[in-house]
A and B are shown apart, each in its own frame.
Chain A
Amino acid sequence: MTTPTTIGTGHEGSIREQVTDYFHRLRSGDMGALPALGGFIVLSTLFSFLNPYFLTKLNFANLFTQAATLMMLAMALVFVILIGEIDLSAGVTSGVAMAVFVLLVNKMGVNWIIGVLVALLVGIAIGGFIGYFVAKVRVPSFVVTLGLFLGLQGLELVLLGDGGLFRIETPQILSIMNDNMPPWAGWVMLVIALAVSYGMGLWDRNRRKAAGVANRPAALLYAKLGAIAVGGGVVVAILNQNRAVSIVAIQGVPIVVPIALAILWIGTFVLDRTRFGRNLYAVGGNPEAARRAGIKITMVRLFAFVTCSTLAVVSGIFDASRIGSVDASAGKSIVLSGVAAAVVGGVSLFGGRGRLSHAAIGAFVIAIIDNGLGLLGLPSGVNFLVTGGVLILAATVDAVSRKRTGGSLR
C-alpha cells in the first residue's frame, strides 16, 4: 500500500482477495459477458456432438467470417444502446453506403479508397441526421430509425434500381473476407496483441504508481497475458493449418480478423479511457445527472449516433466482401441480429452498461446458432425461433440482473 487510506480503491489486496472480490461482484448480478461465454461453450459442445462437420478446421474458419459482419454491427450498436437509445436503421445505413460505393467504383470508375471514404461519409451523414432528430428535436430514436429503416430501403432501390445487383470488383475489398494472411503474419498479429496488452498494462500500473494509489498484484497482468497467448495461440495455430477440401491449400488467419480486432481495441480505448466514453455511460445511466454535471448531453447523443452509423458502414463493407456483391436489399435483415448479439453478450438495453467485447462475444453466440443449426439441416424457421428465444432470454437476464444490482427499471 502506498497511501495510508482507510477507504480502498478495489486494487488493494492479494490475488486471493482480488479473486474473492470478483466472485462477489458476479454474485451481486454484475455478470457481464459470462452468461454469453457459457452459452457459447454449451452450444459448441452440443453442435460438435450433433454434427461431425461442426468441429472441422474449415468450419472453424467459417465461423470467424460469419461472425465478423454481425460483430461489427453489434459493436456499432453498442454506442447507441449504451445511451439507452436504438438504431434500427444501422443495417440499411450500411446498405445505402455500399450502394453509393458500388455506384462510384463500378459505374464511375472512382478509386476504391475514395469509394470507401465516401461510404464512411454517408454513414457519418446518416448518423448526424438521426442524431439531430433524437438529440436536438427529441424524437424517440425508435421512431426516427424505424422511419429511416423504411426510407433508406427506398433509397437503396432508387440508387440501384429494382432487382439491381452490382458485383464487387475491387480485389482489396473482396480479400477482406475471402483471403487469409500468410501463417507468419498470424503469429505477428498475436505478438502485437500481446505487446499492446502488456504495454497498456504497464502504462496503467506506472500511472497509478505515480498517483500514489495501489496496484493489483502484477501476477494478474501476467495471467491475463498468458490467457491471451494460450487462447490466441490455439486459434492462430488451427487457422494456420491447411483447411482445404481440394488440393489448393487454404490456410492462415482471415484478413478480417486483425481489422475487426483493431476496431474493437480502438473502440474499447475510447469507451474506457476518454471523456467521450465516460460521458456515454453517464448519459446512459442518468441523463439528467449528466446534464447537471455540465455534460453537453445533446452533443454526446449526436456523436453516439454518428459513431454507430459509421461503424455500421464498416459492417457493410465486410458483408459486401463476403457476398461479393451489393443489391437493393443489402443490410435489411441483419439489424435485429445485431441488437440480439449485443444484448446476448450482456449489453443492457436500459443503457449505461456494456462493453464492445460483450457485443463481440454475443455475435459469436448468434453466429454459432446460425452455423450449427444450418449444419443440422433444420428449416430456417427453426433458426429464427431459436435466435428470437435466445434474445428474449438475454433481455430477461438483463432486466433481472438490473433489479438485483438495485437499478430502477425505467
Chain B
Amino acid sequence: MDMPVIELTGVTKSFGPVDVLKGVGLSAYAGKVTALVGDNGAGKSTLIKGLAGVQPYDSGEIKFAGNVVNLHTPRDASLLGIEVVYQDLALCENLDIVQNMFLGREDMKHGTLYEGVMEREAAKTLQGLSVRTVKSVRQKVSSLSGGQRQTVAIARSVLRNAKLVILDEPTAALGVAQTEQVLHLVRRLADAGVAVIIISHNLVDIFKVADYISVLYLGQMVASLETTKTNNADVVGYITGSKTYIGDNS
C-alpha cells in the first residue's frame, strides 16, 4: 500500500486524571475515505483536535507524508495542508461565501483585499465540486441551508489545496437529500486525490462513502477495517465493545 498521508502512532491525551486517548494509531491515505467511528465519548473529537493543532496531544508520533511533524497550532496544521470541517460549523454567518472561504488568507493587492480574484476562485472551486444549489458566491452564509453551509466549509478546504481533510459529523444535522449531496462531495474530494477522514454515527452513510473504517472504543483503536471486507453488524460490535479485534477477526 502507498505511504499514508497521515500516520498516528501511540497518541495519548489526558484531561487531568481522565485518559481520553490511550495510545491510538490511525492512518489515512490519499484518494481514500477513512471513517472514524465510535460511541459518544470514545475520543473521536479529541483525536481530531490534535490533528488540527487546536489541542495538541500529550505524547505519540505524528508522521505526515512519511516525515515526523509537530502540530501545536492551527497554523502548523494548515501549513501542512490539514483542514478540518468542524461539527459546529466554523463559519461566520454575517459574512458571505467568498469572505468565509478566504477567511484568514485573503488575496491582497496593493495592501487591499482583491475581491475580484477571490470571487472568481470561490466560484471556480464550487463549480469544480459540481455544486449547483448555490446561486451567488456573494450570498451571506446566514441565508444558506445546513447542507449548503457544509458545502461551503468543504469547498474552503479544497480551495486551500488541502492534502488531508477531516470532517467531524458533516451530516449530523442534515436531511436526506442534503446528506446525499454532502456524501457525494466527500467522495469527489477523495477522487481528487485528497486523504479524507470522516467522523459519523451513521453506518449507512459510512458504508456508502468510506474505503476504510477505524473504530475507537474508550480511547483505544480497536479495529481498522476495509469497508468491502466487513459488515454492519461487525462494526456495531466493535463500537459497543461486544466484539474485540484480536481473536475475533478470523
Residues on A lying within 8 angstroms of B by beta carbon are: 3, 5-11, 28, 30, 207-213, 273-275, 278, 281-282, 284-286, 288-295, 351-353, 405-408
Contacts and interface: CB of A to CB of B under 8 A. Distances in A.
B103 interface: yes
Contacts of B89: 289
Please tell me the size bucket of the interface on B: 35 or more
B246 to A, nearest CB: 38
A286 B91 contact: yes
A406 B75 contact: no
Contacts, number: 125
B142 A407 contact: yes
B236 interface: no
A207 B114 CA distance: 8
Given A6-B132, A10-B136, 18 more contacts: A6-B127, A10-B137, A10-B139, A211-B114, A211-B116, A273-B112, A278-B99, A281-B92, A281-B94, A281-B99, A282-B92, A282-B99, A289-B89, A290-B92, A292-B74, A292-B90, A294-B78, A408-B93
A69 B20 CA distance: 57
Nearest to A283: B92
Interface of B: 52, 54, 74-75, 78, 84, 86, 88-95, 99, 103-106, 108-109, 111-117, 119-120, 123-124, 126-127, 131-132, 134-140, 142-143
Contact of B123 (A5, A275, A291, A295): A5
Nearest to A351: B94
Contacts of A209: 116
Contacts of A353: 94
A406 to B, nearest CB: 4
Contacts of B84: 292
A212 B116 contact: yes
A160 B152 CA distance: 57
Given A281-B92, A285-B93, A285-B94, A208 B115 contact: yes
B104 A295 contact: yes
Contacts of B114: 207, 211
Contacts of B120: 3, 211-213
Contacts of A275: 106, 108, 113
B103 A295 contact: yes
B68 to A, nearest CB: 23
A343 to B, nearest CB: 16
